[in-house]
Amino acid sequence: MKTVVRLYRARIITVLATSALLIATADVGAMIGLDRLQRHVEVMINGNMLPVVQLNELRAAELQARRRFWKTAELRQPERLQEALEGFQTDMDKVDTEWSAYYPRGISSPREGTIAEELRQSLPKFKTIIAVAIHRLRAGQYTSAMQWFDESVGCMDYFDTLLADDISTNADQAAGLVKESKTILKWMSRAVISFLTAFILLVATLTIYLLRQRDNAVVESRYQSWLTNRVFELTLDGMMVTDAKGHILHVNQAFSDLTGYSAVEVVGGTPKILNSGRQTPEFYCDFWTALKTTGQWKGQLWNRRKCGDVYLESLKIAGIRDGDGRFSHYVAVMNDITQRFRQEERLSHLATHDALTGLPNRMLFSERLKQAIIRAKRHRNQVAVMYIDLDGFKQVNDTRGHGAGDEVLRTVAGRLTHGLRESDTVARLGGDEFAIVLEDIAPGSDVKRIASSLVTSVGAAIRIGDRDEWVTPSIGISMYPGSATDAEKLVEMADHAMYLAKKDGKNGYRIATESPGTQPERVIEESIS
C-alpha cells in the first residue's frame, strides 16, 4: 500500500484537489439553485396564489352585487328593498376589502401591473354604477334603475373581464415559475449526478486495482434508484405503476391518501379495485385499446375510494417500452377534481334554473321552446305553450309572509311538474308566473284535458302550518303553428290569453288562435273550465 501511495502521490493530490473544487462548485451551484427556488416559491405564494384568491373574492362580490340588483329590480318588492340595500352594502364592502388587500402589494409582474392599473381606474366607475342603481331603487324608480343598469352593462362587463384577465395572468405566471422551478431542479439533479460521476471516475483511475467497473455501476444504480424512489414518493399527485397486464407493482403515498388503500392492499391486484361502476364496459374496452395501441391515455373517470365515496379523477397514463419496443409497464398519474367539477356543475345549474323551485328559468325556457319548435317543424308536430299566473298568491304572500309564499310556489311547481310528461318543460318566469312547453300534442282535446287537470291540481288546498291556503291558476295557451310560428310571439299570445282568462273570472284557461282572415289581429277562442 505504501508503494502505491508513493507511486500515485501526485495523482492522489490532483484527484483530491479536483474533488475539493468539484464539491465547492456543487455547493455554490446548489446554493444558487436553492435561492432561486426560494424566490420562486415566495413569488408564487405572495404574488400569484394569494392575489388569485383575493381577485376571485372581489369578482364574486361584484357578480353578487349585479345579481342582487337584477333580482331586486325584477321582483320589485318594496318590503324586501331594505334587505337588498344591506346586501349591496355588504357586497361593496367586500369589493373594497379585497381590492385594498390586493392592490398594490399583490402585483408581481409588468403585465399584471398594467391590468391592475386599468382595474384601479375602472373600479370607481363600477362603484358609481352600483351607487346610482341603488339610489334609484331606494327611490322606487325600478324601471329607471334597470335602464341605467342596462346602459352600464358594457362598463361592468369590461371590469369583470379585467378581473378575469388579472386572475389568468397570475395563473400563467405561477405556471411559468413552476416550469422554471422544475428546470432548476432538473439542472441541479444533473449537476449532482455529473459531479458524483466525475469524482468516481477520478478515484477509479487511481485505485483501479482495488475497484472494479462493476462496483461503480452498482453504486450509480443504487443512487439512481434511490433518487427515482424519492421523487416517486414525494410527488403530490397520486401515482401507480403496473405491468403490461395491469397488475399493480407500486403506488406512492399520494395514491393512498387519495384512494384510502395502502400499498399492501393494492400491490399485486388490479385497478379494478377502484371501479365505481359508472363507466360502461365499452369505455374500458376503448381505454385498453388506446393504451395498447399508443401507450397513452388522458381523461376523466369516476372511481371509488375504500370508504365507498365516489370521486371524479383526472387521469394520465403513459406506457414504458422494453428493449424489444413493447409496452412492459404503465405509469398512471391521478388527481381528485370532484370539487372543481361540482362547482362548475353548480354554477351551470344556477345560471339556468330558478333558485327557489329548481325549475328552469326564463333563459332556459326560451331555449327549450325554440328547440321544441325546431323539432316540431322537422317532424310536423304541434307545440303548446301555457302561460300561468296564480290568482290569490299576493294575498297569501302579504298575510302569511314570504316564507308561506315561497312554500306555495314550491308546491305549485311540484304539482305542475307531476301533472306532465318528462319530455315537457315547466319553468318559473318570475314571481308567481310559470310557463309550460308541451311537445308532440294534439291541439284540441289534449290541450284542454291537460289545462283542466292543471286547474284542478293547482287549485287544490295547500297546507301551510296549521291551516290551508288556496291559489288558483289563470292559464293562457298558444299553439304552434296555429297561433304563431316563432317562440317570442307564442309566449306573447299565451300571456295575452292568460290575462283574458283572469278578466273572465280567473281559475280557468283561454286558448289563443290566429285567425287566417284577420292577420295580424288576434282572435281568442274561449275555453273556460
pLDDT of residue 370: 93
Contacts of 465 (CB under 8 A, 6+ apart): 400, 404
Where do runs of H (alpha helix) occur along 272-337?
281-294
Q: In whole angstroms, how far apart are CA 13 and each of 1, 3, 189, 309?
A: 16, 16, 28, 64
Show the cell assigned to 472: 288558483
Kindly calculate the radius of gyration of the chain based on its CA atoms and give it in whole angstroms: 35
Structure confidence by residue, pLDDT tens digits, 390-421: 999 999 988 888 889 999 999 999 999 987 88
Same domain, residue pair 330 and 376: no
pLDDT, one tens digit per residue, over 310-352 is 888 889 998 888 888 888 899 999 888 888 878 877 787 778 8
Which CATH number belongs to the domain containing residue 475 in this structure?
A: 3.30.70.270
Is residue 360 domain-shared with residue 485, that is, in the same domain?
yes
176-186 pLDDT, tens per residue? 888 887 888 78
Same domain, 246 and 361: no
Residue 203 lies in a domain: no
Considering the domain architecture, whether residues 421 and 481 belong to the same structural domain is answered as yes
| pLDDT for the residue numbered 128 | 87
202, part of any domain: no
Whether the Cβ atoms of residue 238 and residue 317 lie closer than 8 Å to each other: no
DSSP states of 181-205: HHHHHHHHHHHHHHHHHHHHHHHHH
Number of domains within the chain: 3
Q: Which domain holds residue 87?
A: 10-185
Q: What would the grid cell of residue 56 be?
A: 376571485
Reduced to 3 states (helix: H, G, I; strand: E, B; else coil), residue 459 is: coil
164 and 267 belong to one structural domain: no
Q: Convert 337-359 to b/e letters by CB count within 10 Å (16 or more is b).
A: eeeeeeeeeeeeeeeebbeebeb
Contacts of 158 (CB under 8 A, 6+ apart): 122
Query: Quick one: 179 and 274 in the same domain?
Result: no
Per DSSP (E only), the strands in 266-323 are 296-304, 310-321
CA distance 252 to 337: 19
Residues 281 and 367 in one domain: no
For the whole model, what pTM was predicted? 0.42
Query: What are residue 303's DSSP bridge partners?
Result: 275, 311
Chosen domain end from 281, 312, 338: 338
Q: Is residue 5 part of a domain?
A: no
Distance CA 286, CA 284 (A): 5
Which of residues 119, 153, 185 is at a domain's end?
Answer: 185
Alpha helices in 207-273 (DSSP H): 213-234, 253-259, 263-266
How are beta strands 327-336 and 238-243 bridged, if at all?
antiparallel
CATH number assigned to the domain comprising residue 296: 3.30.450.20
In a domain, 195, yes or no: no
39 domain residue, yes or no: yes
What was the pLDDT predicted at 368?
92
Q: Give the separation between CA 96 and CA 319, rounded to whole angstroms.
A: 51
The residue from 432, 446, 468, 504 that is catalytic is: 432
Residue 192 lies in a domain: no
In a shared domain, residues 134 and 52: yes
- Say whether both 328 and 438 belong to one domain: no
pLDDT at position 461, please?
Answer: 92
Residues 370 and 468 in one domain: yes
Residue 160 domain flag = yes
Instruction: Point out the residues of the chain with pLDDT beneath 70.
Output: 1-12, 15-16, 19, 22, 26-27, 29-30, 47, 192, 195-196, 198-199, 202-218, 221, 442-445, 513-529
Q: At 366, which helix (H) or strand (E)?
A: helix 362-379
- Whether 98 and 55 have beta carbons less than 8 Å apart is answered as yes
Q: Which of 157, 185, 213 is the last residue of a domain?
A: 185
Q: Is residue 252 part of a domain?
A: yes
The verdict on 357 and 499 lying in the same domain is yes
Residue 68's nearest CA partner among 164, 134, 127 is 134
Q: Does 398 participate in catalysis according to the annotation?
A: no
Same domain, 59 and 168: yes
* Confidence at residue 528, expressed as pLDDT on a 0 to 100 scale: 39
